[in-house]
């Protein structure tokens, strides 16, 4: 295998992949905790988040005004149409880029009007994650 | 027999009847490629055709054309031919008055020269005055040199000053008379040179610049015109990637076939070229660097020591370590006499080859990426500063400059001239930064795929006019450096291409290393007719740029061993 490039999130609180322990997502990006994945409880994350309330900041944020990507070290699968409990959606499965395990999925498109808010956001299953920094 | 069909550039046209001009007969090569001035040129015979314009577009005046050819002949040293041409064409290079003038200048008959100057028929009075000034200035200096201060002063007063030009210089000249010492005179004569005949020729050149070109044709005019045409062709050549120089016979135009695009060789795990196995490191080897003379190798184990190997024998010559600390990266200085390394405690350390520590300092590095570069003169050190910033440290001025990127940096590499940095980002873009003047971002390249791994890219091709990179879609990507256009994607590998290395000695050869455990050598579709590399340069060539190349290979090994 090539040399994996492992990124890290600012923290101090991060969600990590339970199996290979690389950073996956930041709790600051959580939109809802009441979702259900394939295997149980899951959190809905936004795709980016502003990082302004922490003292330890990346100065690139000040300079460029960009948001920090809320998920790192993940790969996306191809678009798939799936019928979920809430209706038909186009989703991409999310894999940990290091150990390739399935962590959740991302909503590419929602076909019901009231589900549109999910587009671009993603779900990570609670029992695939471990918490650090709490 | 009037018009011949001929395709070569006009600069090399010649008469069929000039027998003496042996070197001009090669104009008879009829090449079929396009000629910017059209394909038909009327070639009038000696006694006919006094057309004023020549060339298919009718923009070249015959008289000017013949005169610059004559001038070129004379400056190439072909006096006889030049004279024949003048006679045959009936167009003289210089009018008789001008010839007389030139002779008088060379012989140092200054007063006559000034008189002739007025008879040449120059329209602009200022030009006459400037030229007269130059001549009289020369007269002045020569008089002084011959210890004739009185004569010099007389010249200055009665001849130079009344001209009423260049007053500042007149004051300077008068000061030369007053402060009269041999050394100063010598210094004052700096533009005259030691020997007076040389200085008179220089005077002629100066006069040529002052007088209008119709009177005296400027030196090297024909050569300048040809060079301009070549420059235009070279600049317009999008795919320019050849080692040979430009020829005058055909318009220069590189096709896409000059870019490597087919696999020449596939090597698996170095079975074919395995020369040595270098063992000794206890930890996985993270970084490899070839010495500037290609004879030695530096290897760095993860948080371990640096070992220096001799490539021929495969023996480890030296081990560099810092007790209690681990080393994470290493690089050579361009002069091959010093080694730079990065340590786990975020310090930098420079050793000379014997292991004596020359310098060390603390850097605020918060990044795990261990890429390094030392710019050509050894004075600029380039390293990671933060996930999205690169630090440029000037060792002399201690000045630190930052290259700020808008996403995380995965790797970077420096151009051969040390002026440009190629930065790979997680956003699947490669950015080109000018570090010599700036730093400023000058271009972006995209199209390749990067998601999980460190993918390396490099400069390459003739004059490093191209950028190549690996990609996670198993292809090699090649971009045109100046425009950012993607020119080639090379399929062939069956796994992520981790790194690429363009042979610095052979612009037609590229190497790539992949997760499919192979290294591929890429070349051009048609074999080149003339190869300038000597002997086993193919293996040397890859190794010479082995930094990125060997890194990728080593990374594969590392991946395996950690499983």
- Taking only the tens place, the pLDDT of each residue in B359-417 is 887 776 666 667 788 886 778 888 888 888 898 888 888 888 899 998 889 999 999 88
Contact assessment for residue B436 and residue B415, using Cβ atoms and an 8 Å cutoff? no
Query: Which of the pair, A90 or B256, is modelled with greater confidence?
Result: A90
With tokens 């020729």, the residue in question is: B201
| Closest chain A residue to the Cα of B408, Cα to Cα | A7
Between chains, do B388 and A58 touch, taking CB under 8 Å as contact?
yes
Q: Which domains does chain A have, with CATH numbers?
A: 2-132 (2.170.150.20)
pLDDT digits (tens, 9 = 90+) for B468-527: 999 999 999 999 999 999 998 999 989 999 989 888 888 888 888 888 888 888 888 765
Between chains, do B498 and A63 touch, taking CB under 8 Å as contact?
no
For A4, list phi and psi in degrees, rounded to 5.
Answer: -70, 140
- Token representation of residue A30: 């959580």
Distance CA B238, CA B227 (A): 19
Q: Which of B386, B387, B452 sits opposite A4 (nearest CB)?
A: B452
Distance CA B119, CA B101 (A): 10
pLDDT digits (tens, 9 = 90+) for B270-312: 444 556 777 777 777 777 788 888 788 888 877 788 888 887 8
Write out the DSSP string of A9-23. Answer: ---SSEEEETTT--E
In chain A, residues with a C-beta closer than 8 Å to the C-beta of B366 are: none
Average pLDDT value for residue range B344-354: 82
In chain A, residues with a C-beta closer than 8 Å to the C-beta of B385 are: none
Q: Which of B368, B426, B453 sits opposite A2 (nearest CB)?
A: B453
Distance CA B340, CA B361 (A): 11
Contact assessment for residue B372 and residue B392, using Cβ atoms and an 8 Å cutoff? no
Contact assessment for residue B448 and residue B455, using Cβ atoms and an 8 Å cutoff? yes
Distance CA B21, CA B78 (A): 9
Distance CA A72, CA B452 (A): 10
Write out the DSSP string of B284-319. Answer: -EEEEEE-TTSSEEEEEETTB-EEEEETTT--EEEE
Q: pTM above the 0.95 mark?
A: no
For A122, list phi and psi in degrees, rounded to 5.
Answer: -140, 160
With tokens 């007149």, the residue in question is: B170
Average pLDDT value for residue range A72-94: 91
Average pLDDT value for residue range B321-346: 82
In chain A, residues with a C-beta closer than 8 Å to the C-beta of B404 are: 60, 63-64
- Is it true that the peptide bond before A12 is cis, omega within 30 degrees of 0? yes
Is pLDDT of B442 > 90? Answer: yes
pLDDT digits (tens, 9 = 90+) for B39-95: 445 554 444 456 788 888 888 888 889 999 999 999 899 989 999 999 998 888 888
B452 touches chain A (CB under 8 A): yes
Between chains, do B451 and A97 touch, taking CB under 8 Å as contact?
yes
In chain A, residues with a C-beta closer than 8 Å to the C-beta of B454 are: 2-5
Distance CA B97, CA B102 (A): 9
Is pLDDT of B544 > 50? Answer: no
**B404: closest CA of chain A, how far (Å):** 7
A62 touches chain B (CB under 8 A): no
The count of residues in chain B is 563
Predicted confidence at residue B386, as pLDDT, reads 82
Q: Which of A1, A7, A59 sits opposite B408 (nearest CB)?
A: A7
B367 touches chain A (CB under 8 A): no
Q: What percent of chain B has pLDDT over 70?
A: 78
In chain B, residues with a C-beta closer than 8 Å to the C-beta of A5 are: 410, 426, 452-454
**B407: closest CA of chain A, how far (Å):** 9
Helices marked H in B95-220: 96-107, 110-119, 125-145, 149-154, 167-178, 182-188, 196-210
In chain A, residues with a C-beta closer than 8 Å to the C-beta of B558 are: 3
Name the band, by pLDDT with cuts 50, 70 and 90, for residue B421: very high
- Residue B37 makes CB contacts below 8 A (sequence gap 6+) with B9, B10, B55, B56, B57
In chain B, residues with a C-beta closer than 8 Å to the C-beta of A73 are: 452
| Closest chain A residue to the Cα of B474, Cα to Cα | A2
Name the band, by pLDDT with cuts 50, 70 and 90, for residue B336: confident
Q: Which of B404, B406, B558 sits opposite A3 (nearest CB)?
A: B558
Orientation of helix B62-76 relative to helix B79-89, angle to 10°: 160
Between chains, do B453 and A4 touch, taking CB under 8 Å as contact?
yes
Judged by average pLDDT, the poorest of B176-190, B224-238, B432-446 is B176-190
In chain A, residues with a C-beta closer than 8 Å to the C-beta of B498 are: 2-3
ipTM score assigned to the predicted complex: 0.80
Q: Terminal CA-to-CA distance of chain B, rounded, Å? A: 82
B155 touches chain A (CB under 8 A): no
Distance CA B563, CA B559 (A): 7
B50 touches chain A (CB under 8 A): no
Q: Which of B386, B388, B556 sits opposite A2 (nearest CB)?
A: B556
Between chains, do A7 and B387 touch, taking CB under 8 Å as contact?
yes
B366 touches chain A (CB under 8 A): no
Distance CA B424, CA B477 (A): 13
With tokens 């290079």, the residue in question is: B93
DSSP H/E element including B226: helix B221-236
Between chains, do B556 and A1 touch, taking CB under 8 Å as contact?
yes
How many CB atoms are located within 10 Å of the residue B198 CB?
Answer: 11
B405 touches chain A (CB under 8 A): yes
B288, with CB counted inside 10 A (0-12, 13-18, 19+), is buried
- Token representation of residue B160: 């130079």
Choose the most confident range, by mean pLDDT, from B178-182, B270-274, B319-323.
B319-323
How many CB atoms are located within 10 Å of the residue B21 CB?
Answer: 18
Q: Which of B405, B406, B559 sits opposite A1 (nearest CB)?
A: B559
- Is it true that the peptide bond before B439 is cis, omega within 30 degrees of 0? yes
Is pLDDT of A80 > 70? Answer: yes
Is pLDDT of B106 > 90? Answer: no
- Token representation of residue B400: 């630190």
**B452: closest CA of chain A, how far (Å):** 6
In chain B, residues with a C-beta closer than 8 Å to the C-beta of A98 are: 452
pLDDT digits (tens, 9 = 90+) for A38-74: 888 999 998 766 544 333 333 333 333 345 677 888 9
Distance CA B490, CA B478 (A): 8
How many CB atoms are located within 10 Å of the residue B432 CB?
Answer: 22
Neighbouring-strand partners of residue A49: A68
Report how far apart, in Å, the C-alpha atoms of B59 and of each of B53, B139, B169 are.
Answer: 6, 42, 42
- Residue B322 makes CB contacts below 8 A (sequence gap 6+) with B343, B349
With tokens 């050394």, the residue in question is: B183
Predicted confidence at residue B181, as pLDDT, reads 57
Predicted confidence at residue B509, as pLDDT, reads 86
Computed over every residue of chain B, the mean pLDDT equals 76
Is pLDDT of B32 > 50? Answer: no
Helix, strand, or coil here: A4?
strand
Listed by number, the residues of chain A in 11-30 with a beta carbon closer than 8 Å to a beta carbon of chain B are none
Average pLDDT value for residue range B440-461: 91
B517 touches chain A (CB under 8 A): no
A63 touches chain B (CB under 8 A): yes
Report how far apart, in Å, the C-alpha atoms of B187 and of each of B147, B153, B167, B191 are.
Answer: 15, 19, 20, 9
Contact assessment for residue B464 and residue B416, using Cβ atoms and an 8 Å cutoff? yes
Is pLDDT of B150 > 50? Answer: yes
Distance CA B272, CA B254 (A): 33
What's the number of CA atoms in the CB half-sphere (13 Å) around residue B13? 23
Distance CA A20, CA B399 (A): 40
């Amino acid at each position: 295998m090539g040399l994996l490039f492992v990124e890290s999130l600012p923290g101090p609180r991060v969600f990590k992949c339970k199996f290979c322990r690389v950073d996956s997502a930041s709790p600051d990006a959580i939109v809802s905790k009441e979702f259900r994945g394939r295997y149980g409880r899951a959190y809905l994350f936004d795709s980016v988040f502003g990082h302004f309330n922490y003292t330890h900041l990346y100065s690139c944020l000040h300079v460029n005004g960009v948001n920090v990507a809320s998920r790192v070290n993940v790969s996306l699968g191809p678009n798939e149409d799936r019928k979920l409990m809430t209706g038909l959606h186009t989703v991409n499965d999310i894999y940990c880029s290091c150990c390739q395990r399935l962590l959740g999925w991302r909503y590419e498109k929602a076909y019901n009007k009231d589900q549109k808010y999910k587009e671009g956001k993603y779900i990570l299953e609670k029992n695939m994650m471990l918490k650090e920094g709490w | 027999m009037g018009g011949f069909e001929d395709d070569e550039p006009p600069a090399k046209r010649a008469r069929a009847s000039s027998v003496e001009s042996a070197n001009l007969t090669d104009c008879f090569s009829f090449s079929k490629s396009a000629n910017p001035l059209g394909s038909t040129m009327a070639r009038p015979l000696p006694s006919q055709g006094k057309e004023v314009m020549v060339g298919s577009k009718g923009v070249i005046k015959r008289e000017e054309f013949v005169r610059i050819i004559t001038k070129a002949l004379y400056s190439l040293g072909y006096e006889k031919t030049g004279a024949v041409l003048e006679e045959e064409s009936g167009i003289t290079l210089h009018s008789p008055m001008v010839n007389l003038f030139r002779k008088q200048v060379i012989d140092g008959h200054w007063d006559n020269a000034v008189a002739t100057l007025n008879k040449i028929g120059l329209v602009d009075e200022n030009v006459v005055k400037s030229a007269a000034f130059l001549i009289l200035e020369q007269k002045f200096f020569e008089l002084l040199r011959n210890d004739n201060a009185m004569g010099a002063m007389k010249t200055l007063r009665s001849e130079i000053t009344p001209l009423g030009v260049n007053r500042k210089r007149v004051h300077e000249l008068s000061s030369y008379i007053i402060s009269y010492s041999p050394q100063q005179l010598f210094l004052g004569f700096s533009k005259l040179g030691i020997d007076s005949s040389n200085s008179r020729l220089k005077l002629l050149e100066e006069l040529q610049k002052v007088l209008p070109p119709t009177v005296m044709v400027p030196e090297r005019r024909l050569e300048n015109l040809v060079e301009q045409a070549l420059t235009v062709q070279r600049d317009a050549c999008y795919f320019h990637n050849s080692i040979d120089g430009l020829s005058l016979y055909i318009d220069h135009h590189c096709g896409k076939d000059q870019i490597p695009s087919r696999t020449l060789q596939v090597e698996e795990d170095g079975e074919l070229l395995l020369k040595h196995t270098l063992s000794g490191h206890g930890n996985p080897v993270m970084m490899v660097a070839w010495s500037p003379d290609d004879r030695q190798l530096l290897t760095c184990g993860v948080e371990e020591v640096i070992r220096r190997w001799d490539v021929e024998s495969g023996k480890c010559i030296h081990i560099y370590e810092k007790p209690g600390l681990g080393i994470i990266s290493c690089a050579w200085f361009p002069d091959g006499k010093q080694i730079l390394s990065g340590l786990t405690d975020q310090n930098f350390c420079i050793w000379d080859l014997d292991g004596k520590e020359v310098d060390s300092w603390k850097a605020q590095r918060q990044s795990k990426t261990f890429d390094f570069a030392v710019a050509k003169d050894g004075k600029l050190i380039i390293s990671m500063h933060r996930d999205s910033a690169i630090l440029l440290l000037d060792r002399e001025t201690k000045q630190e400059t930052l290259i700020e990127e808008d996403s995380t940096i995965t790797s970077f590499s420096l151009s051969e001239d040390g002026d440009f940095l190629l930065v790979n980002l997680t956003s699947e873009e490669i950015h080109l930064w000018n570090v010599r003047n700036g730093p400023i971002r000058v271009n972006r390249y995209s199209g390749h795929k990067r998601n999980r791994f460190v993918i390396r890219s490099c400069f390459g091709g003739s004059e490093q006019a191209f950028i190549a990179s690996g990609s996670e879609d198993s292809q090699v990507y090649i971009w045109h450096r100046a425009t950012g256009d993607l020119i080639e994607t090379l399929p062939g590998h069956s796994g992520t291409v981790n790194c690429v290395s363009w042979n610095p000695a052979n612009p037609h050869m590229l190497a790539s290393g992949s997760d499919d455990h192979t290294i591929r050598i890429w070349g051009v579709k048609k074999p080149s007719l003339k190869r300038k590399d000597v002997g086993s340069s193919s293996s040397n060539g890859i190794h010479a740029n082995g930094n990125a190349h060997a890194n990728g290979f080593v990374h594969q090994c590392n991946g395996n061993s950690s499983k």
